[in-house]
Structure 1
């Protein structure tokens, strides 16, 4: 069995870049068709590859949902086990996951008003500047 460290040290994507791009852009139905054509070992490694990249986290969960727990643990150790558990949780909506945050409000008033800067020279400063 690989350790989690071994799984994350190998940073090569197990599928072609074109296929990864298609998966990233696919809708949920199209993604399941694309994933079905990938071998189970490569699928588990791909789920782990995507999981460590925040912008591919949702894709990792979708791919991991089609993997066996055994494959994910074999290739990812504890991370694979965690990924398996996360992929089996019910989907959270975006609104539900951010409901604990306070709403952002923007001010409609000017931030500050400043008096214009008037730059006046003293006669002394002008005479010093001319003699220098």
Structure 2
């Protein structure tokens, strides 16, 4: 039995400038095969796609890689002010983000609270 599930008004795929099938192929592509998959997509669409992907944490890197295939002019024409920044970022060596990493402190963590020695309550 097939069921139809309603899509909310806030469906993120509705804003995607390419078909969801194309997006799926791009997301699953290796870095080496990405340029060949992007060949048939017009530069203005690639620029909008780069901005779309860059704005989501799980596709951030892919957005930068796609932006690297666009000229500054095309990225500047993409919605928002992100175009110039995305162009500059895509021309730098990629440095992956470090979500959830933190430096290790030599000071231990105490769950006992802070209390002064000799203090009376």
TM-score normalized with structure 2 length: 0.67
Work out whether 1:49 is the aligned partner of 2:48.
Answer: no
Deviations 1:55-80 (A, max 9, x none): 11001000000001001111134211
Distance 2:104 2:28 in 1: 30
Distance 1:21 1:60 in 2: 13
Q: 2:84 aligns with which of 78, 81, 100?
A: 81
What's the C-alpha RMSD, in Å, of the aligned pairs? 2.8
Distance 2:18 2:43 in 1: 12
Q: How many residues are treated as equivalent by the alignment?
A: 95
Deviation at 1:102, TM superposition (A): 2.1
Deviation at 1:35, TM superposition (A): 1.2
Work out whether 1:65 is the aligned partner of 2:68.
Answer: yes
Larger Rg: 1
Higher relative contact order, structure no. (Cα contacts within 8 Å, ≥ 6 residues apart)? 1
Distance 1:75 1:31 in 2: 21
The corresponding residue for 1:102 is: 103
The corresponding residue for 1:33 is: 36
TM-score normalized with structure 1 length: 0.62
Distance 1:93 1:103 in 2: 20
Q: Which runs of 4+ in 1 moved over 3 A?
A: none
Deviation at 1:103, TM superposition (A): 4.8
